[in-house]
Amino acid sequence: MNGLTTPPLSPGLIKKPVQLPSLDVKMASLNLLDRTGPLTATATSPFHMSPIIGATLLTAAAKLARNAEPPIMSPTSPLVMSPIPLSKSALLGATAATGLQLPPKMYHKILFEGQIRPVAITAFEDLLFLTRVAKWKVSYHEGRPFNRSEQLPYFGRVDEKLVRHALDQTIAEIWDSEDKRDIADRAKAATLSNLVVSPSTPLGEVVGALQKAFELCTKSIERFGGAGFTSIRSSGEAKSAFELTLKHRPDRLVMEWPSSMGEPDLLAALTKNAETLRETDTDPTFVDFVAYHVGYELLRSGAKLDTKDARWLGTPGFRKDTQTFVSLTDPGEGHIFGTTRRARWLKGAICHVEHLERPGNLPREEIESYRIPSIFEFARVRLHTGKSAPNTYFVGRRVKDSVSGNFAHDFIKVVNLTSAACSAAFQLGAAETKVAMDGLTASEQIAYMRAMSGHVLRNYKQVLSAAYNLNAPLVDDLAEPIVGEDGKSECPVLTDNFAVAKRGIELAALGGFDKVTFDGASDTYPSKCVILQVSFEKALELVHLAHQAGLITYMSAGFKFDHIADAVYSGVDGIGIGGAQILRYMDSKTGHHGPYTEEFIDRIDAERDQAANSLRGRGVNLLCRLDRMFYEGSITTDEETLRQPLFESLRDINEEAITSILASPVLAGIVAMEHDGESPVLGNAHRLLRKNTSDALLKANVPAAFAAKWDKLIRDLFALIKHPDEETLAQYYRSQPWTELREEYAKTMMTTRGDRLYTIKTAPHAL
């Protein structure tokens, strides 16, 4: 065909498309240019263009129609057949005759049967899971309790027999009645399952069966009354940015997407497409659904995500959108099919991944309240989130290697294992990893954190968080020992939750971590809210102390709608919301979790935003700014005089005093400052270069001998921000004279996070 030429045709000679009532596959929208690209299956079919093309289409359609019902049924089916190539001269002749433009440049990815079959199986299972979730939610809203005897699904590699068994079980659970429609749909689902799993099914029929399964599940969800509880629905006339083309010799599926997306890498294109879908409140089409499952398989096979635009947690007080982020928590699939579907759900949110389920309601000594999630699941969540929100990863408490559980014996393995887990998450674009300090003495915590800091692979905006359970006793072997009546000395044991939290701030700063987490999980589940456990006043004080020490803060355990406002009024940077409190169903008897309830995110955000926009919310946001500037040394002596009074007025809920301080002309410039966005060091530099910072604490609180160093710092910063670049400033931040000034200034502070640390090799934690 490449040697043929096509005579010019007048558009007026083209006949109207004809229908093919004898086939349940309808082909259309074929213009002259389609002959150099995909022949898209749509509502009609102008076969008059070429008998060769017509014959090709009919043959392909007939092959797909071997089942009683052909695999491709949708009038807007995205599947396309093998193209018929034409010579360049023929193409140009047709283009000139019709006035049509050349097709846009497309990027592509070729996939063979061995790659598509595992994609189809996982996609088919996800369709079943989504259908089951919708049915569960309908049942729950009709007043029936949620009951579950199994834990949340977990990835594993199994053979064909176990695949069939698992799919059959889920099919039987979804269409479980003897209603005629359930019987028919159950049989249809079983047939499609067999087509997808069977290694003898041709590639085209595998994809066709998957499309029919998509249509079966969306129609079943509508029949169950669950259309409002799902991310999949009949696509109608919606079009995907991706195209699928079946080609032969050898059989393969070609995925194409327009170069206008600006992403030649498929994973990057999928991430950009996810952003486009949520910005337009659009649910994925069938083609999108397949494309994302191709992406998951690529991730599992070792493909790398582009993480250069991954979001960080933000500067306390100068965070984009709002001060207190809601950390929406899920093991993974709730974010994939829920949180990441709507742009508004990611605004002012952290997409946090941790395994939230405590089977059998076991006590914490038997099983962690929260557990490290699947790194594969985290990668899938990152694929969907992109740059729209920070993603964080929970690592949890140390793994014990020795029978005795002696930390010194376990030290090297524990540090290497935990740092590897953190590094893996950071390489995928995590903004933070949380490491629990449970069961460690104060000196062990310092050794652990400093060793972790020396092993973890991360950039300067990726945060290590020390998580303190406020209900776990803390043996403080760094404090003065207590001498008993018998003359024996013992290390103090902190049991008061406020005392544990305050000491946690100091230890996190000494250990060189960037963030401190206050967790209130206990042996009872669900937990009592951490704010109620420590009180609002003490929560505010903890955040105040941590912020002025340079630490980011977080609180978790037991948050319900009514507790969100008090968390906002404390100024905390993030609150963990998830699990059985708000975002998951739970069987109270077994402790097993059910579906993720993204439909509650709007209310969570409304509670947070109402508090943040109130007088107290605006007041605590200003306190967060002042505390951060105190840590930086960018606050002036006049501004510093109002910092403690503002804290006291917020603690005492003295609205008259809060109003007065917010209106103070001394603080007007700080109130009006822009957020830092993704440039925390640039933000710090701009705060130091304000017109009135000649008496900034970084200068005022250091010896007069440092005046020349201050002058040099200001000159350097002015020179650097002429061409502002965050990465360049971040490198300068750890250089002289900025570091020397900060270190001298730190001598005037009770607690502060040291940020000039070096990685060297020494003897590990002593046995």
Three-state secondary structure readout of 377-391: HHHHHHHHHCCCCCE
Tell whether 410 and 474 lie within a shared domain.
Answer: yes
Residue 235's pLDDT band, with cuts at 50, 70 and 90, is: low
pLDDT value of residue 620: 98
pLDDT in tens, 388-447: 999 999 999 888 888 888 899 999 999 999 999 999 999 999 999 999 999 999 999 999
In the chain, the percentage of residues whose pLDDT exceeds 90 is 69
Distance CA 733, CA 409 (A): 38
Tell whether 705 and 638 lie within a shared domain.
Answer: yes
- Tell the residue number behind the tokens 């971040």, with chain if given: 730
Tokens of residue 543, six digits: 């955040």
Distance CA 124, CA 706 (A): 67
pLDDT value of residue 214: 96
Determine, yes or no, domain membership for 658: yes
Q: Are strands 463-469 and 482-483 parallel, antiparallel or unpaired?
A: unpaired
Determine, yes or no, domain membership for 314: no
- Tell the residue number behind the tokens 């594993």, with chain if given: 156
Residue 16's pLDDT band, with cuts at 50, 70 and 90, is: very low
Please give the average per-residue pLDDT across 484-502, as a whole number.
91
pLDDT value of residue 103: 62
Could you say which of 613, 636, 658 is where a domain stops? Answer: 613
**CATH number of 474's domain:** 3.20.20.70
Could you say which of 103, 125, 141 is where a domain stops? Answer: 103
Residue 766's pLDDT band, with cuts at 50, 70 and 90, is: low
Determine, yes or no, domain membership for 441: yes
Determine, yes or no, domain membership for 402: yes
Determine, yes or no, domain membership for 152: yes
Residue 639 scores a pLDDT above 60: yes
Tell whether 443 and 583 lie within a shared domain.
Answer: yes
Mean pLDDT score of the chain = 86
Query: What SS3 state is found at 18?
Result: strand
pLDDT in tens, 94-146: 555 556 565 677 899 999 999 999 999 999 999 999 999 999 999 999 999 99
> In 10 A of CB 666, how many CB atoms?
14
> In 10 A of CB 544, how many CB atoms?
24
Please give the average per-residue pLDDT across 58-75, as a whole number.
41
Please give the average per-residue pLDDT across 71-82, as a whole number.
39
Tell whether 503 and 406 lie within a shared domain.
Answer: yes
The residue ranges of DSSP E strands in 422-540, in sequence order, are 432-436, 463-469, 474-475, 482-483, 489-490, 493-494, 515-519
Tell whether 93 and 144 lie within a shared domain.
Answer: no
Q: How many CA atoms lie less than 13 Å away from 148 in the CB half-sphere?
A: 23
Q: Which residue has the higher pLDDT, 460 or 764?
A: 460
- Crossing angle of helices 536-548 and 643-651, in 10° steps, is 160
Tell whether 158 and 242 lie within a shared domain.
Answer: yes
**DSSP category for residue 34:** G
C-alpha of 494 from chain center: 35
Tell me which residue range forms the domain holding 663. 621-746
Number of domains in the chain: 4
In the chain, the percentage of residues whose pLDDT exceeds 70 is 85
Query: What SS3 state is found at 112?
Result: strand
Tell whether 17 and 136 lie within a shared domain.
Answer: no
Tell whether 595 and 678 lie within a shared domain.
Answer: no
Determine, yes or no, domain membership for 754: no
Residue 351 scores a pLDDT above 80: yes
Tokens of residue 305, six digits: 């995500």
Tell whether 151 and 275 lie within a shared domain.
Answer: yes
- Tell the residue number behind the tokens 């409304």, with chain if given: 606
Tell whether 94 and 141 lie within a shared domain.
Answer: no
pLDDT value of residue 31: 32
Please give the average per-residue pLDDT across 660-667, as a whole number.
97
Tokens of residue 12, six digits: 């007026």
Tell whether 599 and 667 lie within a shared domain.
Answer: no
- Tell the residue number behind the tokens 């006339």, with chain if given: 237
The model's pTM is 0.86
**DSSP category for residue 100:** P
Determine, yes or no, domain membership for 4: no
pLDDT value of residue 14: 42
Could you say which of 573, 589, 613 is where a domain stops? Answer: 613
Distance CA 203, CA 207 (A): 6
Q: Is 728 left (phi over 0), alpha (psi -120 to 50) or beta?
A: alpha
pLDDT in tens, 590-621: 888 888 999 999 999 999 999 999 999 999 99
Give the contacts of 285 (CB within 8 A, at least 6 positions apart): 78, 235, 238, 239, 240
Tell whether 178 and 203 lie within a shared domain.
Answer: yes
Tell me if 329 sits within 8 A of 408, measured CB to CB: no
Give the contacts of 142 (CB within 8 A, at least 6 positions apart): none
Q: CA angle, corner 588, sides to 584 and 593, nearest 5? A: 30
Tell me if 534 sits within 8 A of 558, measured CB to CB: no
Torsion of CA 731, 734, 736, 738, to 10 degrees: 110
Element (H, E) at 661: helix 655-662
Determine, yes or no, domain membership for 6: no
